[in-house]
Amino acid sequence: MAQQLAIGVDLGGTTVKTGLIDSSGTILAQSKLPTLAEVNPAAVVGQIVKSIQEVLPHAGGRPLAGIGIGSPGLIQNPGGIVKSPPNMKDWDVVPLADEIRKVFNVRVEVDNDANVAAVAEAKFGAGKQYPDFLFVIWGTGVGGGIIMNNQIYRGPSGGAGEVGHISIDYNGLLCNCGTKGCVEAYVGQKHLSKRTIEKLKSNPNSKIVEMVGGDLDKLAPMHLSQAAEAGDALATEILTEAGTLMGVMIGSVMSTLDYRVTVIGGGVSAVGDFVYDAIRASVQRNVQKPMREEIRIVRAQLGNDAGIFGAAGMVL
C-alpha cells in the first residue's frame, strides 16, 4: 500500500501548529500561525483553515486520509464539537469538525489533548507495538486516554480516559472537582508544591531551596525533578510517594480493562527512572494477581510534536 498522508493540527491558546505527515511519521511540511483566540471563534477557524492551506500543496496531489485536530476544551464525540475552551474569546460551542470538513471535504476528527497524545504514542511512539494500552499524562494535573485495539476509545460521548478524577481514597483530600480522594489531588502540581513546602520545614538543606533561588513561591514540578536528578533525598521521596499513589489509580484502570501496558507522558517524562519504578511497583501490588508478572509501565517517547503527530494519527 502506498504511504497515506494526513494533516495534524495542534490548536493551542496562542499558536496553531499544523503538519502534513505520512504514515511512517515523516513531517513533509509544517505551518505555525497565531491562534487569534482573543478575536472570536470565526477568526480561530480561519487560522486553522489558513494553516492547512499552507501545508496542503506539499501533498503533491496525492490523496489525503483526513485532517485531525487536537483542541483544548471539552470535546463532544461523535461530532467533533468543541465546548468552552479556556482563554478563547466568545467560544461557547463550535462544531469544529463540521466547519473544517465544509472547507476541505475530507474526514475530520477532533479530540482533546490527552487523547491526541495517546494516539501519537500509539501510532508513532512508545505504544506502537501494543494494540491496547492506557496513556496517562502527568503534568500540572492528570489526564489520560484509552487505546483499544489500536484506536482511541472515546466512550459514548467523548469523555473516556479522564482518569485524573478516580478516587484512591473515599475519605481523602477534597479535589477541585468536588470529589474526595481524586488521584490528581495527590499528585497534581498544586498538592506536590504544598507538600514540598511543608516537608522543607524539617529539611531546610534540601537542594530544592537552591533550585528556586530561595523563593518557594516559584516552586514548580520541574524543580522537584531537577533536585531529584541531582540526588536530593527529599525531592526523590516526594516524587516516589506520588508515583506510588499514581500506581494505585493505574492499577484500578488496568484491572478494569484487563490491560497490561501503561504509557506515561507529560512533565514526568523528564524525570528519572525511579518514578517509573515506583509507579510499576505500586501497579503490581494493585492489579489482580494473574496480571502482576506482565505489567509494563513505559515512558512516552514523543515530545513537542506529539500534538501534530497524534492529530494526524487519528485519521491515519
Point out which residues pair with 7 in neighbouring strands. Answer: 20, 67
Which residues in 109-138 contact its own copies (CB under 8 A)?
131-132
Question: CA–CA separation, 81 vs 78, rounded Å?
Answer: 8
| Parallel/antiparallel/unpaired status of strands 133-138 and 108-112 | unpaired
Identify which of 172, 233, 226 has the alpha carbon closest to the alpha carbon of residue 200: 233
Phi-psi sector, 74: left (phi>0), alpha (psi -120 to 50), beta = beta
Comparison of 225 and 252: residue with beta carbon closer to its own copies: 252
Amino acid at 154: R
CA distance 235 to 46: 46
Q: Binding of its own copies at residue 58 (CB under 8 A)?
A: no
CA dist., res. 276 & res. 106, Å (int)? 40
- In the bound state with its own copies, the residue whose beta carbon lies nearer, of 47 and 262, is 262
Within 241-280, which residues bind its own copies (CB under 8 A)? Answer: 245, 248, 251-253, 255-260
> Cis link prior to 78 (omega < 30° from 0)?
yes
Secondary structure (3-state) at 20: strand
Q: Is 288 near its own copies (CB under 8 A)?
A: yes
Q: For residues 73 and 125, which CB has a smaller minimum distance to its own copies in the complex?
A: 73
- The DSSP secondary-structure symbol of 92 reads S
x/- map, 200-229, its own copies, by CB under 8 A: ------------------------------
**171 touching its own copies, by CB under 8 A:** yes
Q: Rule CB under 8 A: is residue 170 a binding residue for its own copies?
A: yes
CB of 209 to its own copies, least distance (A): 30
Cβ of residue 215: shortest distance to its own copies, in angstroms?
33
In 3D space, the residue among 50, 52, 4, 38 whose CA is nearest the CA of residue 308 turns out to be: 52
Q: How far apart are the C-alpha atoms of 234 and 225, rounded to whole Å?
A: 11
Nearest-approach distance from CB 290 to its own copies, in angstroms: 7
Q: What is the smallest separation between the CB atom of 280 and its own copies, expressed in angstroms?
A: 15
Q: Which residue bears the cell 484509552? A: 146
Please pick, from the candidates 4, 179, 203, 240, the single residue that binds its own copies as defined by CB under 8 A: 179
159 near its own copies, rule: CB under 8 A: yes
Q: Is 92 a residue that touches its own copies (CB under 8 A)?
A: no
74 binds its own copies (CB under 8 A): yes
- 74 forms bridges with which residues in the sheet? 83
If one asks whether residue 73 binds its own copies (CB under 8 A), the answer comes out as no
111/305 with CB nearer its own copies: 111
The only residue of 63, 105, 217, 289 in contact with its own copies, by rule CB under 8 A: 289
Closest to its own copies by CB, 25 vs 181, is 181
Count of beta carbons in the 10 Å neighbourhood of residue 313? 26
C-alpha cell at 245: 499513589
Q: Which of 286, 307, 311, 315 binds its own copies (CB under 8 A)?
A: 286
* Site membership for its own copies, residue 285 (CB under 8 A): yes
Sheet of strand 27-34: strand arrangement? 27-34, 15-22, 5-11, 64-71, 108-112
Residues that bind its own copies (CB under 8 A): 74, 131-132, 146, 154-163, 165-172, 177-181, 245, 248, 251-253, 255-260, 285-291
